[in-house]
Structure 1
Amino acid sequence: MSYPLQKSDDEWQAVLSKEQFRVIREKGTEAPFTGKYDKHMPDTGVYTCAACDAPLYKASHKFKSGCGWPAYFDNIPGAVTRHTDSTLGMSRTEIVCSNCGGHLGHVFKGEGYKTPTDERHCVNSVSMKFSPEDKVVDKTDSKV
């Protein structure tokens, strides 16, 4: 699949840390309970893609799941693309940034969390940045 922002591996390596490149571009996973946003629970703000700064999740989407990675019940409309991931001998739903295709993590449904969507977007902290500003413009130029 093609994404609006295209860069070569060399270009990505020039702007991402070694760990960010491993997770975001090579579909790696950070160890559970080690990411800086796992226990980060602000009331307002926006989480953006660490690779391209595209807005992904509002702080109000975040919830405590206890899984060891930041968890969100929904994303900013159009910000995340889902793909079937058949690695590890199972079928999961991978989530990537819709702007650059950077790997974020996986989404799980039907786990029984008391959230509006009954989904858990399990996202690597290294794949994101946080901005305390809540005013982010989405692709349709309306405030989210």
Structure 2
Amino acid sequence: MAYWLMKSEPDCFSIDDLSRGPALWDGVRNYQARNYLAEMQADDLFLFYHSSCQPPGIAGIGRIDGQARPDLSALDPAAAGYDPRSTEQQLPWVAVPVVFQKKFAALLSLAQIRTLEGLEALPLLARGSRLSVMPVTPEQWQILLNAAGK
């Protein structure tokens, strides 16, 4: 099993939205983040991070529910993830099915995360890191769960 951190803006898709039923994590338009999505396996777990909000932070846990598949939102002009360069023959983007696992009692804020020892190599804290999908080591996962009180 692998562990991940996946970011979403809560006004677009939040942990509460995921709690209402299975979803497809789509719209990722960064090649490195896309590669991480493609590596994901069923039953991998991810930290659901609320970004571009105040305060940003980890809201809960989700689970990968299958293999990566073509992200058809890239072909839909009405979709937020529309990519005019994509075609059915040239579709570089992928999406993964995800399901809800749990919501934390309180958000583990970015400010709190920055104070935790042992997370120096966490990609979320890297200077200039803007990836929306990133790996988390088992050690980092445990530190974050402990901090969230889980």
TM exceeds 0.5? no
Give the number of the structure with larger relative contact order, counting CA–CA contacts within 8 Å between residues 6 or more apart.
2
Higher helix share: 2
TM-score (norm 1): 0.31
Which structure has the greater CA radius of gyration? Answer: 2
TM-score (norm 2): 0.31
